[in-house]
Structure 1
Amino acid sequence: MQPSQKVGKTYHDSTKHSYLSVMLDPNYVDASTQPSPFKFYPKFYRRLKLNVKNPIHSFLWLTSAITFEKYYQDEPYKLRVNPSAGALYPTEVYVQIRGIEGIVDGIYHLEVANNCLTLIYELIDDGLESYILANNRIIGFIFLISCVYYRSSWKYKERSVRYCCLDSGHHLGAIAASTYLHNRNLQLLFDFDKLALNADLGFENKEFITACAISGEFQEKKVRRLRLKVPFVCGTDYFEANQFIEDGYQATATSGSSQKQLEYPQFDFDKERFYQTVWNRRSIRRFQKKSISAKDFWNILQEVQKPIPTENFEDIEIYSVIHRVEGILPGLYQGKRLVKAGNFNDKVGYLCVNQALARDSAVTLFFVSNYSNYQTAMQVAGFLGQRVYLFSNYWDIQCSGIGAFYDDETQEFLETKKDVLYAMVIGK
């Protein structure tokens, strides 16, 4: 086992669930103490209101848009294009814009609550490129995903070290969907100087960069680092530090990921229908124990496993526990290979911490990996999870992500030595 893998596995193993651990710590929280899910810079910062009739504005807006608002115990919950564990939304988006007509060259915070770009840093001859891609300048957009981790650790404690990365991957998937709908290119990056960026963006210990997405033209030109530090603004109305999460992030932020040749996926979805899918995506809360067609299931799996546009990569293997798919024998599958036949509805429901969603779905998916870089692997799992959401919804099949499962028992059930990173359910 490589040293970088050992580091990630240490934090993964330390956050495992078991039947006993969940019974001893059911983790009830007082909803009235939830920290703010939105970050705001001071009111005197310059802002650009996004107009969805403008193609550039629409592209940026759809990466993080609020798509639905509901009330729970008289409190509003604003749901977004990207799902999040517990609807806590720890992720924030910053975007460097360079060479785009009508927009000042600078680094902006995407202010989701007010649908606007907040200018936090104006560029001269400096920029984010020097932290990410040496000797390159990007004409277009550099997105940074960050996590305000206390929004998640407030509820999920140490296991938030997983959820922050999964949510980051989902947000990258939302950016990818917007680039597809707006006919723009995209490249994801996970290996770059995140710690220096955290310092220069003024995050202190309360927020950290997880990933980068580039959509633009690459020019061979050196760009210097930011000449000034960005003033600190906290992403929550109050904060409680968690040293385990901070140490876990630091330990997994610097080791290298596996590398592969850059490949771009080719999709052929109806754009209008896909836009509506992005807009209407929700996490389902109940299934009706109905079957889905084998054609739809294999279509989803095939599309989900198309190339991810990145050179920094961790391989994710998908196991499918098929409960209700027309014409397919129920059982555990690795790809199309039957590992073991059987009705595992109740077993999988139990493994997913007794959640009826896993028991009543048509298929339960488990993502496993023998990673080099844990942080990258969890984000790739989240990115694939966003694809599962969108592609299943596109074919009128509902979906939900499940981050809670009994780790060791699930690994034993799957008959794998790879770590289980994520579970998802699809069905009617």
Structure 2
Amino acid sequence: MLSSQISGKAYHDATKHSYLSVQLDPNYVDASTQPSSFKVYPKFYRRVKLNLNNPVHAFISLTSAITLEKVYKDGPYKLRVNPSAGALYPTEVYVQVRSVEGMVDGIYHLEVENNCLTLIYELIDDGLESYIIPGKCINGFIFFISCVYYRSSWKYQNRSIRYCFLDSGHHLGAVAASAFLHNRDIQLIFDFDKLTLNSDLGFENKEFITACAVSGEIQDKKIRRLRLKVPFVSGTDYFESNQFIEDAYQATTLQKSRQQKLEYSQFDFNKDKFYQVVWDRRSIRRFRKESISQEDYLYIVQQLEKSIPTENYEEIEIYSVVHRVEGMTPGLYKGTYLVKTGNFSEKTGYLCINQAIAKDSAVTLFFVSDYLNYQTAMQVAGFLGQRLYLTSNYLGIQCSGIGAYYDDETKKLLETNKDVLYGMVIGI
């Protein structure tokens, strides 16, 4: 059977964790063999150093900025505004700029390590609009998120297809946060001709586009596709192919997402405080087992229920296992509805591969869906995950994502037949 005829659910099911599977394959790796986590084009490409005093530069930079460097015996880890499973950072950002004062119309790669834009293609009468919204011209910005999948599959093997999509969603959330801070609207687009675009951007089989975010004035004007292909540049210093991941990506790219009306949500965050939250965001490693207030919990739920700015959409349901929220009965909730009472802290710790943060948190959350398009659903889950990070941190509550859990046993706790796409924890 062709990969395009296999559903996203089949690939999800093929990467499930169980107690037995984790014991049989604990997935140890030699950290010294980790592939490089930054893509850099050759030195002869033109570069624009990003000046944070320039509002356009600041907008672009904050979508992917390095916020902290930690040094371990195996080398430095550079943490960013967007979280990543295992801090492996498979995602890259490309941005098309058109009719923006002070910048050459072109396609740029955001070189995160050096905080600069690398011009990889100069526009004439062509551009990327024809791949995503034919017949339109965008005066402004088109951000594309891609995944250099070997950075993740090096450690997580086949299950890394989940983490690539989740990380892409988190990165879209980082783009949305920067847009909010710079008073710009964005529209996320998941359904477009990604396979042709991958080829024309010179990605071969080593990198793939997952989504884009548009910010600017949309006009009726036909823009032709790229007149030339972009030369191939590898995103890692070495590469090992994984046919499962490549097939899963292609299959989930060809399937259509559900559709919804485009809506823009309003947020009431203080922007100075929110900027610092974006900059200081970290993944918590240990909780003190303290309670959070019911008011804060309900505020977080309210933010998660706000619309996502996209017409391509998959519905995500969020279950909350409440352990320590003042004034709330411990138990399983769907939104604010109490499904069943009970102290499930030990159970959630076990389900999340015996991670202490899943039992010591104030709330353990699980994102589920009965998606049509798996790739879109995972990215929407990641986008909501980024919103959860920033909202929680804004309130002084810590947060972390959990991508590893026993899939079927978690569904049993939640009493759902829908697939569990993501786990997250919040607390103090």
Normalised to the residue count of structure 1, the TM-score between the two structures is: 0.99
Shift of 1:6: 6.1
Deviation, 1:41, is 0.2
1:335 is displaced (CA, Å) by 1.1
Give the superposition deviation at 1:254.
Answer: 1.2
**In structure 2, distance between residues paired with 1:139 and 1:422:** 35
User: 1:133 is aligned with what amino acid?
Assistant: I
Matched-pair contact (CA < 8 Å) for 2:31–2:74: no
Query: Within 5 A, what are the aligned runs for 1:202-281?
Result: 202-281=202-281
Q: Check whether the contact 1:194–1:253 (CA below 8 A) recurs between aligned residues.
A: yes
1:112 aligns with 2:112: yes
**Does the aligned pair in 2 maintain the 1:5–1:373 contact within 8 Å?**
no
Query: What is the rounded CA distance, in whole Å, between the counterparts of 2:73 and 2:344 in structure 1?
Result: 36
- What CA deviation, in whole Å up to 9, does each residue of 1:76-117 have, x standing for no partner? 110000000000000000000000111000000000000000
| Dislocated runs of 4+, deviation >3 Å | 3-6
Equivalent positions of 1:346-365 (< 5 A) are 346-365=346-365
- Deviation, 1:4, is 8.6
Inter-CA distance 228–6: structure 2 relative to 1 (3 Å threshold): closer
The residue that corresponds to 1:382 in the other structure is 382
Q: Gapped runs of 5+ residues in structure 1?
A: none
Aligned partners of 1:7, 1:59: CA distance in 2, in Å?
37
Deviations 1:393-420 (A, max 9, x none): 0000000000000000000110001000
Q: Answer yes or no: is the 8 Å Cα contact 1:296–1:395 preserved in 2.
A: yes
Residue in structure 1 matched with residue 190 of structure 2 by the alignment: 190
Q: Which residue of 1 aligns with 2:153?
A: 153
Give the drift of 1:72: 1.2
Q: 1:292 is aligned with what amino acid?
A: I
* Matching residue of 1:327: 327
| Alignment-mate amino acid for residue 228 of structure 2 | L
CA distance in 1, matches of 2:353, 2:180: 36
Aligned twin of 1:394: 394
- Is the 1:144–1:209 Cα contact (8 Å) retained in structure 2? yes
SS at match of 2:7: helix
For 2:62 and 2:195, how far apart are their aligned partners in 1? 28
Deviations 1:221-261 (A, max 9, x none): 00000000000000000000000000000010011100000
Tell me if structure 2 keeps the 8 A contact 1:4–1:373: no
Judge conservation of contact 1:5–1:371 (CA < 8 Å) in 2.
Answer: no
Contact 1:201-1:230 at 8 Å conserved across structures: yes
Question: In structure 1, what residue type is equivalent to 2:180?
Answer: Y
- Deviation at 1:296? 0.3
Q: Report what 1:301 is aligned to.
A: 301
Alignment of 1:92-171 (within 5 A): 92-171=92-171
For 1:5 and 1:226, locate their aligned partners in 2 and report how far apart those are by CA, in whole Å.
29
Q: Identify the residue that residue 62 of structure 2 maps to in structure 1.
A: 62
336 and 6 in structure 1: CA distance in 2 versus 1, 3 angstrom threshold: farther
> Which residue type is aligned with residue 261 of structure 1?
K
Q: Contact 1:4 / 1:372 at 8 angstroms: preserved in 2?
A: no
Q: Aligned partners of 2:76, 2:319: CA distance in 1, in Å?
A: 37
Contact 1:107–1:119 (8 Å) recurs in 2: yes
- In structure 1, what is the Cα distance between the partners aligned to 2:305 and 2:394? 16
CA RMSD in angstroms comes to 1.0
Q: Secondary structure at the match of 1:299?
A: helix
**Is residue 314 of structure 1 aligned with residue 329 of structure 2?**
no
What SS is found at the alignment partner of 1:9? helix
Percent identity between the aligned chains? 76
Task: Tell me which amino acid in the other structure corresponds to 1:375.
Answer: Q
Q: 3-state SS of the aligned residue for 1:241? A: coil
How far apart, CA to CA, are the structure 1 residues paired with 2:6 and 2:271? 43
1:422 aligns with 2:422: yes
Distance in 2 between residues matched to 1:416 and 1:69, nearest whole Å: 40
Report if the CA contact (8 A) 1:332-1:339 is conserved. Answer: yes
